[in-house]
Amino acid sequence: MTQLPPVLERQPPEQVDPAGAAASQDWERLVAALIGLSPYRAVLLPLLPDITRIARANRQIGTALAAVERRADFARTGRLRRADLGPDRTALLGFLEYIRFACPDFLRSVGEWPVGGMRDRG
């Protein structure tokens, strides 16, 4: 059986500079608050570091998060309400919902994780 191992890139800790680490933590707090607004938060919160990294790397979601951060004055208040998502709500909640249904937990529940395993035979 050929199996493709799942790959989730994590940045090695030794490559993280202090300023970058602080910014990373700010992003992580914001994404955690966003996940708190999702009905799938119980499944998504354990994936927070990966979701944060992927969100930052995605042009649409990165831009939307920056807009939400400003709109909510998140750096000062540390709080996020649904109303703060504004016009970015569909994209941001869609992003989280996508991850919920593409994550190993869900795919395992339909017999399709690890990806690649068993696919070349029944």
- Contacting residues toward other proteins, per CB under 8 A: 2, 4-9, 39-40, 50, 54, 57-61, 90-92, 94-95, 97-99, 101-103, 106-107, 109-112, 115-116, 119-122
Spacing of C-alpha 6 from chain mean position? 16
Q: How far is the CB of 102 from other proteins (least distance, A)?
A: 4
Could you tell me if 91 and 35 are in contact, meaning their C-beta atoms sit under 8 angstroms apart?
no
Q: Which of 55, 39, 116 is nearest to 91 (CA)?
A: 55
Q: Nearer Cβ to other proteins, position 14 or 120?
A: 120
Q: How far is the CB of 32 from other proteins (least distance, A)?
A: 18
Question: CA 85 → CA 30, 64, 79, distances in Å?
Answer: 12, 8, 12
Greatest CA separation found in the chain? 55
Q: Nearer Cβ to other proteins, position 9 or 76?
A: 9
Residue 47 CB neighbour total at 10 angstroms: 18
Rounded Cα distance, 45 and 97, in Å: 13
Q: Nearer Cβ to other proteins, position 39 or 78?
A: 39
Q: Nearer Cβ to other proteins, position 2 or 15?
A: 2
Q: How far is the CB of 11 from other proteins (least distance, A)?
A: 13
Q: How far is the CB of 90 from other proteins (least distance, A)?
A: 6
